[in-house]
Amino acid sequence: MTARREERDASAGNLPRILALPAVLALALLVVPLAGLIARADWPSLWTDVTSRESLDALGLSLVTGLIATAVCLVLGLPLAILIARARPGIAAVLRVLVTVPLVLPPMVGGVALLYLFGRSAPAGAWLAGWGLGLPFTTAAVVVAQVFVALPFLVLAVEGAVRAVGVEYERTAASLGAGRWATLWRITLPLAAPGLVAGLVLCFARAIGEFGATALFAGNNPGVTQTMPLAIYTAFNGSGVGEGPAVALSLLLLVTAIAVLLLVRAWRPGSVR
């Protein structure tokens, strides 16, 4: 407690006051455009817009695919994160770069890559399509695209948490006779739980916000692959849901994102500031 108090005093520190000016501008640049969105909302029809059939289709699809993608990320990403956290430094560095690449790539590049792997004109895709397992332009493709862009968020968050916990408790548990699985379930994961929850929440938020990879790999088929971001895009292209529903859906995504981030904050008191 005392340590934190001192830290806070130090953070108020002795810096040039003029820094506040660009800082306020930066904040305005991030927040004011979103205020524009709120200003454009047609409040009386907001509820009808959000509950129109097209909106509900997109909303439902986004939530279902986002949840499935998050579950896939958990099952695949958690082991990867633990392995990276416990790998030798050289190997861990390489793995971390590989995991981060999709994070910094434009998601559309991911969509093109997925299409070139699973598309009908690609050998792997043609083979799968021959078995009736064609992936592009299906709801499953939406999930794959979401996993591709959201997985790094989970892996990096969990990896950081697991590494920060260290190996001391694991060694102690082992010396007391705990098996590897018991150590994982009762020591490692509980200690890394805040990082895991933060990772899952970020992962979900990123999944439901995914646009680029979905547009290219899954297409824009209402009710099948048209998630909220694609419905919004289509509306501003002059077809699909109207502009009213598009603004309403944008607001809904905004509120979801804020709620999700507040949730992370609540789960990691002190560690996310």
Binding residues (CB under 8 A) for another protein: these are 54, 56-57, 60-61, 63-64, 115, 119-121, 125, 129, 134, 136-139, 219-224, 234, 236-240
Task: Tell me which DSSP letter residue 207 carries.
Answer: H
Please report the sign of the dihedral spanned by the C-alpha atoms of residue 105, residue 106, residue 107, residue 112: negative
CB of 56 to another protein, least distance (A): 7
Single-letter amino acid code for the residue at 187:
I
CB of 160 to another protein, least distance (A): 35
In the bound state with another protein, the residue whose beta carbon lies nearer, of 167 and 243, is: 243
Alpha helices, H only, the chain: 2-12, 20-40, 43-50, 53-86, 89-104, 107-118, 123-130, 139-165, 168-175, 180-183, 189-209, 212-217, 228-236, 243-267
In the bound state with another protein, the residue whose beta carbon lies nearer, of 52 and 183, is: 52
CB of 31 to another protein, least distance (A): 23
CB of 172 to another protein, least distance (A): 47
In the bound state with another protein, the residue whose beta carbon lies nearer, of 63 and 83, is: 63
In the bound state with another protein, the residue whose beta carbon lies nearer, of 51 and 271, is: 51
Distance CA 137, CA 190 (A): 39
Q: Does residue 202 contact residue 153 with C-beta atoms inside 8 Å? A: yes
Distance CA 223, CA 58 (A): 7
In the bound state with another protein, the residue whose beta carbon lies nearer, of 12 and 39, is: 39
Backbone angles phi, psi at 226, to 5 degrees: -85, 95
In the bound state with another protein, the residue whose beta carbon lies nearer, of 44 and 238, is: 238
CB of 70 to another protein, least distance (A): 17
CB of 246 to another protein, least distance (A): 10
Q: Does residue 187 contact residue 170 with C-beta atoms inside 8 Å? A: yes
End-to-end CA distance of the chain: 16
